[in-house]
Structure 1
Amino acid sequence: MTAAGTPVAIDPVALPPYVLALKDQLGYLPAPQLERVLRAFQVGAQAHEGQTRKSGEPYITHPVAVAGILAELGMDAETIIAAILHDTLEDTALSRSALAGEFGETVAELVDGVTKLDKMRFGSRQEADAESFRKMLLAMARDLRVILIKLADRLHNMRTLGAKDAPSRRRIARETLEIYAPIAQRLGMNKIKAELQDLGFRALHPDRYRVISERIRAALGNRREAMGRIETALSQRLNAEHLPARVVGRIKSPWSIYSKMHSEHKSFTQLMDVYGFRVVVESAMNCYMALGVVHGLYKPVDRRFKDFIAIPKANGYQSLHTVLLGPFGAPIEVQIRTAEMDSVAERGVAAHWAYKTDSGPANSAQARAREWLSTLADNQINTASSAEFIENVKIDLFPDEVYLFTPRGDILSLPRNATALDFAYAVHTDVGDHAVAARVDKKLLPLRTRLESGQLVEIITAPSAVPNPAWLESVVTGKARTAIRQYLKHLQHEDAVDFGHRMLDRALDARGSSLDAIPSEVLDRFLHEARLKRLEELLAEIALGNRMPDVVARHLLALRDGQSDDIAPGTSPVHEKIRITGAERGVLSFANCCHPLPGDAIIGYLSPGKGIVVHREECPNVVELRKSPERCVAIEWDHDVQGDYRAELRIEVINRPGVLATIAAAIAAADSNIDNVEYAERDLAAATLLFAIEVKNRKHLADVIRRVRRTGVVSGVYRYPL
């Protein structure tokens, strides 16, 4: 091989037709760069010599076709070269060092990145290889061109899918629809996304694809004259107003028809009874002038106008959308944009790549993609599990956006159904962590309020406010979910360490010692044997039920005294129970079999991974739990207990109209919330109801029971279970 950058004489006559076609496509590249691309073909053809595809064609035809797809997007020479060589590291003897020496380190990194992606196999979004998918997104964050090559590779594989067997076709098609088409959409590459979707649909559901395609052709044949008349009317009116424009009729694809029929429960006729047109003008100002012209030609449909020029979509898409009432009684959907916007809409991050400078991205799609990927990279640092990371990414990959304004006039885009709490975390993590309420269009509303496009949102914060577990049910964005979980994990760890300390001290106290009396070298030795790095980890393990405090105490004392740790358990009486407030996050949970309340006599049971499960002492299950005394923890309620606790009431009533409302009113009058109601038994004369309610303590529950008894419609009220 020649040294990088050395010109190589290429004989055009020796090049096969498919390479000559690629050479013609690459006419936008300078001659020296084109020479490097042709040299890459020679290296690739030599490396893949003797290899064939399933169709029987020489293997090199595939990477050249992938390069051709990228050439249509106007990609730079390094991307084209990497595309031609993208399978060499995995499938041939060519080494990475040889690749870097011939074509430079950037090309070698791109090929290496794509090679790692090729090893991934996805069954579906739910069954995706989460760790591999995570690596793919982080590779995208380093260099977007990696995923562009992969998308082009996938597109050519989909175009030539017929050579595969049926199970492989279905697997690859599902993977395409659920992973790669959404990524293309998120990067603004609508043209590639649409082709991937239709090819995937055809391979996954061939009969449905055929039927819908035939019906589309039939419908277009019947309405070709009507579309022509509308297109002519639009063009003539724009010309009359001296607005140079290109008007093109838009045709819905089989996949978009199928997915809308499925998701919106609409018939084929309802979806096809819409005329679609695109108007391409010279400038953004002309877009708004053209909007006025088309509104003057046909009446606009109320509330069907969207301005994605002033407020671009998350993937950089810009256009004006409006719906008009046409001359044939059917709606006309019109998109108005500039040629630049049209290019970005079709190609997304790949638009004008060849002309991108090092000073920054050339279009809004690139800027927004980099911002999205940067956020993903930041979030993954705080996300321990790959599956959780992918769960957050999926939210970002399938957005249906709302656009919101900050008090400063900045615009934030969030997924549909996002709440004020999502907005708070989108502004900044610190704002989210200390949020207490929101002012939406100057109206004070709770953080769980769902937001709508166009609203002005201001977040009210307080230094004392902190996230709580209920917040996870109020957010939909990955950023908010990650930040809340991170904060709760930190709190849980602090509570676990504190509680574990108390439990271990209690166990040592039963043997006449304490944690302070254990020499540091003994502690270090125990931690080393237990493969724990710090004392805090040991204490958290005890609180979460993964280690028994009595066993740890016995072992520590044995190490201190130089004895075997199989000495008899201590028999010293335990005078003090561990007091709980109920707020020990992640350490305590309350048994559903007996629903303990503050004021009840209670006992704790150490359950591995769950921590202490609290039961009432009279719970029927306690008899069985006491058979494992080493897991039973002596606990009692603290004097000052806050919060609401679940309780259940069994209420026997006279079955007559209005009885349920009467009981509900009595419960509400006692300042209790109702979580759930269900009938346990019911006949013509009587019924038995089970109410799940929230109370503060045993005394509060007694007050609720008294009020329910006074209603006069009940024959019995009992705490359930008894």
Structure 2
Amino acid sequence: MIPAETLTALVAGYNPESDSGLIAAAYEYGLRMHEGQFRSSGEPYFSHPVAVAMLLAEQRLDDATIITALLHDTIEDTGSTYSEIALRFGDEIAQLVDGVTKLTNLELSSGQNAQAENFRKLLMAMSKDVRVLLVKLADRLHNMRTIRHLKVEKQQRKARETMDIFAPLAGRMGMQWMRDELEDISFRILNPEARKSIIRRFVTLRRETGDVIPKITDDIRTVLAQAKVEAEVFGREKKPYSIWRKMEEKGESFSRLSDIYGFRIITTSAIDCYIALGAVHKRWAAVPGRFKDYISSPKSNGYRSIHTTVSGRDGKQVEVQIRTQQMHSVAETGVAAHWSYRDGERFENPFAVDPFRWLSTITERFENAEDSDDFLEHVKLEMFTDQVFCFTPKGEVVKLPKGATPIDFAYAIHTRIGDSCVGAKVDGQRVPLWTKLKNGQSVAIIRAEGQRPQPTWEDMVVTGRAKSAIRRSLRGEQRATQVRLGREIARVALERVGKKATDKALATAAKRMGFDEPDDVLARLGAAEVTGKELVAALYPELVRDAGKPDHRELSGPIVIGLGSGQEARPAPCCSPIPGERIVGIAVRGKGVMIHAIDCAELVNFEEQPDRWIDLRWAESHATADRGVQIEMVMANDTGVLGRICTLIGEQRANITNINFTDRKPDFYRMIVDIEVRDMEHLTHVLTAIDADSDIAEVRRYRSVSPTVQPTTSG
């Protein structure tokens, strides 16, 4: 295991102001907390946090990040707590360690919806402090480097998670070297035969042509010397996974694949970058369509470089990247450059992007996605794709992923512009909306009022923002159509039973069927997810009862179950319980057993006499008998309303035995109606049917306030 002195010396080498004592204290604390824990390889567990800290130190990061790396598993895997870390090492480090712990607990390789939600949480954690993710990425890289000690199934799961989430995140943050290594290790696990085949082809190519990298490197240096450009030149073979991905995307064999070699020219100034570009293009033919200037139009993570592909020695196509040393620093460390040190001081790289501003831009875009599928698709599109830079007619730059169309361009400017797009001009020429945009093109969107997104657009766009907006609009239009159709279905269905599809009726139906608003019911009707019969049944269930079902009203068998031998029971007038609601019996001298609803207010008078309580329940055979209840309603004082409500109650197979007006006003009547119903379900049907009438302001079950039954000593 790497000793503490090695780590502190490495950090002090680039940051003499480093608090070596605090780093050493964190080392000792982590070593003690992880004592007795071992990795799958058999090594002491603490060797892993130390290796993670070394990785971050190699990136010249600050003390807080290094200490967080040493402690990043203490809260999760040991008896350490947030409070203890804050007390020993400060709030900043405690918050970072807590952030890494939360990221570790996210199961990113779970099902699609859970994965999207967890990734959303990951981005939110990142937005507080990007160093949390830097530690997590270094943690994942070291785990991948030592993954051979895990079971095959776990290796594959971790490799897939790395390929889907962590590798593209590293790339999105500008840490391309880390992305390349994470992808290569994952590729070796997920598709070992493909990786071996790429390596064998490289070996064969070297045997046939020799090692061309030193030769091309020398050629470039000669060209730059002639142009009087002082620069460093490096050459390399592309990584196996990068080659494999190009083969899959282009459907070409290895022998036909171009630019399997890459070269970098590191100059001292931006002017020299363009002089070097001119010298390279003068010496070798540029490949059309393979030029990108990220110096004049940087990526959102601060990346700046010129990319060009030329036909080099023996006609081989090679990619050349040209940048300054400062640009190269950002290209190597990405967002991490914000915290890096050089020559003992925080290195103020003018090209390093503010990580908090960068994160706020991507999280805002991700949060625009409406559901989990949209969100995950948006995330992956943002991270996996390269970018093209196009211009508005006013010269403003619009960044889009590769393969973007004018529709993507329109939505990138504003949703309203995208929705009303009817055409586009690229460099002054009218083009189809499915045209793929290229770097440097000027795009003008042609709009028309009243235009709406078309279903075919979804297949033309590649950005998550455009896809989400199109789907949202299409869903809105589809819903409007379904609501119109559903309203007609509701009208016809209710007219068949002599009712009207009023707003009040539809609102009541929505409540009964568990929907938020009437349009939800209508949309389901229009989509054939709910039938007209179901709508009628929700409002007037008695009207759709099976005509062949006998309507028994005779009482057979006992009323309730739970009475003792010879005991008789009758409903208490205070609450008038009916079958379907919970009941309890109270023994009363000279009156037998009074049946109360379990929520009856009178029961409070018997709380101190538990011996008089009898556990009762309604007999199922009693459900067909009629029981008297009272309902209270507030009804509009209009001609014919009372007659219509009485008819309505009769249609629900309930019998009216008395009507008592308790309040008469010029515009409304309040009255209590005595009716007979079978059970609670029947009463609910009656109340629902009445409530659906537009002339009813209020309807509820009514329980009278009767004189309190005086407690007695026996029953």
TM bucket normalised to smaller: 0.5 to 0.7
Task: Report Cα offsets for 1:55-98 as digits up to 9, x if no partner.
Answer: 11111111121122122222233322222222222222222333
Give 1:19's aligned residue. Answer: 4
Question: Are the equivalent residues in 1 in contact too, given 2:311–2:317 (CA < 8 A)?
Answer: yes
In the alignment, the residues of structure 1 paired with residue 443 and residue 330 of structure 2 have an alpha-carbon distance, to the nearest angstrom, of: 30
- 1:98 equivalent among 79, 84, 95: 84
Task: Report Cα offsets for 1:681-721 as digits up to 9, x if no partner.
Answer: xxxxxxxxxxxxxxxxxxxxxxxxxxxxxxxxxxxxxxxxx
Give 1:553's aligned residue. Answer: 536
Question: Are the equivalent residues in 2 in contact too, given 1:121–1:129 (CA < 8 A)?
Answer: yes
In the alignment, the residues of structure 1 paired with residue 250 and residue 431 of structure 2 have an alpha-carbon distance, to the nearest angstrom, of: 31
Letter matched to residue 94 of structure 1:
S
In the alignment, the residues of structure 1 paired with residue 444 and residue 275 of structure 2 have an alpha-carbon distance, to the nearest angstrom, of: 34
Gaps in structure 1 of 5+ consecutive residues: 1-15, 569-722
Question: Are the equivalent residues in 1 in contact too, given 2:293–2:305 (CA < 8 A)?
Answer: yes
* Worse-matched range after superposition: 179-188 or 283-292: 179-188
Alignment of 1:326-337 (within 5 A): 326-337=312-323
Letter matched to residue 478 of structure 1:
G
Task: Report Cα offsets for 1:211-262 as digits up to 9, x if no partner.
Answer: 5445545655776675434433433443454422111222222322333344
Alignment of 1:193-342 (within 5 A): 193-210=179-196, 212-213=198-199, 216=202, 219-220=205-206, 227-271=213-257, 276-301=262-287, 304-313=290-299, 315-342=301-328
Question: Does residue 347 of the first structure (1) align with residue 333 of the second (2)?
Answer: yes
Question: Are the equivalent residues in 2 in contact too, given 1:382–1:486 (CA < 8 A)?
Answer: no
Give 1:135's aligned residue. Answer: 121
Question: Are the equivalent residues in 2 in contact too, given 1:434–1:461 (CA < 8 A)?
Answer: yes
In the alignment, the residues of structure 1 paired with residue 411 and residue 303 of structure 2 have an alpha-carbon distance, to the nearest angstrom, of: 24
SS at match of 2:296: coil
Letter matched to residue 442 of structure 2:
L
Letter matched to residue 520 of structure 2:
E
SS at match of 2:53: helix
SS at match of 1:402: strand
* Structure 1 residue 309, shift from structure 2 partner: 1.9
In the alignment, the residues of structure 2 paired with residue 220 and residue 114 of structure 1 have an alpha-carbon distance, to the nearest angstrom, of: 44
TM (normalized to structure 1)?
0.67
Question: Are the equivalent residues in 1 in contact too, given 2:327–2:351 (CA < 8 A)?
Answer: no
Question: Does residue 380 of the first structure (1) align with residue 367 of the second (2)?
Answer: yes
SS at match of 1:55: coil
SS at match of 2:340: helix
In the alignment, the residues of structure 2 paired with residue 100 and residue 486 of structure 1 have an alpha-carbon distance, to the nearest angstrom, of: 46
In the alignment, the residues of structure 2 paired with residue 79 and residue 153 of structure 1 have an alpha-carbon distance, to the nearest angstrom, of: 12
SS at match of 1:294: helix
SS at match of 1:56: coil
In the alignment, the residues of structure 2 paired with residue 335 and residue 301 of structure 1 have an alpha-carbon distance, to the nearest angstrom, of: 14
Question: Are the equivalent residues in 1 in contact too, given 2:389–2:440 (CA < 8 A)?
Answer: yes
Question: Does residue 170 of the first structure (1) align with residue 153 of the second (2)?
Answer: no
Give 1:114's aligned residue. Answer: 100
Q: Who wins on radius of gyration, i.e. which is larger? A: 2
Letter matched to residue 3 of structure 2:
Y
In the alignment, the residues of structure 2 paired with residue 565 and residue 69 of structure 1 have an alpha-carbon distance, to the nearest angstrom, of: 82
SS at match of 1:129: helix
In the alignment, the residues of structure 1 paired with residue 374 and residue 461 of structure 2 have an alpha-carbon distance, to the nearest angstrom, of: 15
The verdict on how the C-alpha distance between 1:485 and 1:254 changes in structure 2, with shifts beyond 3 A counting, is closer
Letter matched to residue 21 of structure 1:
T
Letter matched to residue 66 of structure 1:
V
Letter matched to residue 171 of structure 2:
Q
The verdict on how the C-alpha distance between 1:105 and 1:491 changes in structure 2, with shifts beyond 3 A counting, is farther
Task: Report Cα offsets for 1:124-156 as digits up to 9, x if no partner.
Answer: 997983322332233334433232222111100
Question: Are the equivalent residues in 2 in contact too, given 1:376–1:393 (CA < 8 A)?
Answer: no
The verdict on how the C-alpha distance between 1:271 and 1:166 changes in structure 2, with shifts beyond 3 A counting, is same
The verdict on how the C-alpha distance between 1:272 and 1:529 changes in structure 2, with shifts beyond 3 A counting, is closer
SS at match of 2:279: helix
Give 1:473's aligned residue. Answer: 459
* Structure 1 residue 494, shift from structure 2 partner: 4.1
Question: Are the equivalent residues in 2 in contact too, given 1:89–1:115 (CA < 8 A)?
Answer: yes
In the alignment, the residues of structure 2 paired with residue 468 and residue 324 of structure 1 have an alpha-carbon distance, to the nearest angstrom, of: 41
In the alignment, the residues of structure 1 paired with residue 213 and residue 381 of structure 2 have an alpha-carbon distance, to the nearest angstrom, of: 37
Give 1:41's aligned residue. Answer: 27
Letter matched to residue 20 of structure 1:
E
Letter matched to residue 319 of structure 2:
E
* Structure 1 residue 307, shift from structure 2 partner: 2.4
* Structure 1 residue 287, shift from structure 2 partner: 0.5
Question: Are the equivalent residues in 1 in contact too, given 2:173–2:335 (CA < 8 A)?
Answer: yes
- 1:180 equivalent among 158, 166, 169: 166
Question: Are the equivalent residues in 2 in contact too, given 1:141–1:370 (CA < 8 A)?
Answer: no
In the alignment, the residues of structure 2 paired with residue 259 and residue 113 of structure 1 have an alpha-carbon distance, to the nearest angstrom, of: 33
Alignment of 1:479-558 (within 5 A): 479-516=465-502, 518=504, 529-557=512-540
The verdict on how the C-alpha distance between 1:518 and 1:430 changes in structure 2, with shifts beyond 3 A counting, is closer
- 2:396 equivalent among 410, 421, 424: 410
The verdict on how the C-alpha distance between 1:136 and 1:435 changes in structure 2, with shifts beyond 3 A counting, is same
The verdict on how the C-alpha distance between 1:341 and 1:427 changes in structure 2, with shifts beyond 3 A counting, is same
In the alignment, the residues of structure 2 paired with residue 374 and residue 325 of structure 1 have an alpha-carbon distance, to the nearest angstrom, of: 38
Question: Are the equivalent residues in 2 in contact too, given 1:124–1:178 (CA < 8 A)?
Answer: no
Question: Are the equivalent residues in 2 in contact too, given 1:138–1:377 (CA < 8 A)?
Answer: no
In the alignment, the residues of structure 2 paired with residue 461 and residue 159 of structure 1 have an alpha-carbon distance, to the nearest angstrom, of: 53
Task: Report Cα offsets for 1:258-286 as digits up to 9, x if no partner.
Answer: 33344434444555886542211001111
* Structure 1 residue 322, shift from structure 2 partner: 3.2
Give 2:48's aligned residue. Answer: 62
In the alignment, the residues of structure 2 paired with residue 207 and residue 469 of structure 1 have an alpha-carbon distance, to the nearest angstrom, of: 41
The verdict on how the C-alpha distance between 1:539 and 1:106 changes in structure 2, with shifts beyond 3 A counting, is farther
SS at match of 2:44: coil
Task: Report Cα offsets for 1:176-217 as digits up to 9, x if no partner.
Answer: 223322222222211101111222223334454445445545
Letter matched to residue 166 of structure 2:
Y
In the alignment, the residues of structure 2 paired with residue 470 and residue 329 of structure 1 have an alpha-carbon distance, to the nearest angstrom, of: 42
Letter matched to residue 37 of structure 1:
I
* Structure 1 residue 482, shift from structure 2 partner: 0.8
- 1:148 equivalent among 134, 157, 162: 134
In the alignment, the residues of structure 1 paired with residue 211 and residue 524 of structure 2 have an alpha-carbon distance, to the nearest angstrom, of: 75
Give 1:50's aligned residue. Answer: 36
Letter matched to residue 374 of structure 1:
T
In the alignment, the residues of structure 2 paired with residue 446 and residue 232 of structure 1 have an alpha-carbon distance, to the nearest angstrom, of: 46
Gaps in structure 2 of 5+ consecutive residues: 542-630, 634-644, 654-715
Identity across matched positions, percent: 40
Question: Are the equivalent residues in 2 in contact too, given 1:406–1:458 (CA < 8 A)?
Answer: yes
Question: Does residue 157 of the first structure (1) align with residue 143 of the second (2)?
Answer: yes
* Structure 1 residue 369, shift from structure 2 partner: 8.9
In the alignment, the residues of structure 2 paired with residue 59 and residue 468 of structure 1 have an alpha-carbon distance, to the nearest angstrom, of: 57
In the alignment, the residues of structure 2 paired with residue 303 and residue 225 of structure 1 have an alpha-carbon distance, to the nearest angstrom, of: 28
Give 2:443's aligned residue. Answer: 457
Give 1:73's aligned residue. Answer: 59
SS at match of 1:286: helix
Task: Report Cα offsets for 1:470-503 as digits up to 9, x if no partner.
Answer: 3323322100111122233334444444444443
Question: Are the equivalent residues in 1 in contact too, given 2:365–2:465 (CA < 8 A)?
Answer: no
The verdict on how the C-alpha distance between 1:466 and 1:328 changes in structure 2, with shifts beyond 3 A counting, is closer
State the number of aligned residues.
Answer: 547
The verdict on how the C-alpha distance between 1:316 and 1:565 changes in structure 2, with shifts beyond 3 A counting, is farther
Q: CA RMSD in A?
A: 3.7
Task: Report Cα offsets for 1:537-571 as digits up to 9, x if no partner.
Answer: 34434444444444433443579969899958xxx
In the alignment, the residues of structure 2 paired with residue 142 and residue 451 of structure 1 have an alpha-carbon distance, to the nearest angstrom, of: 35
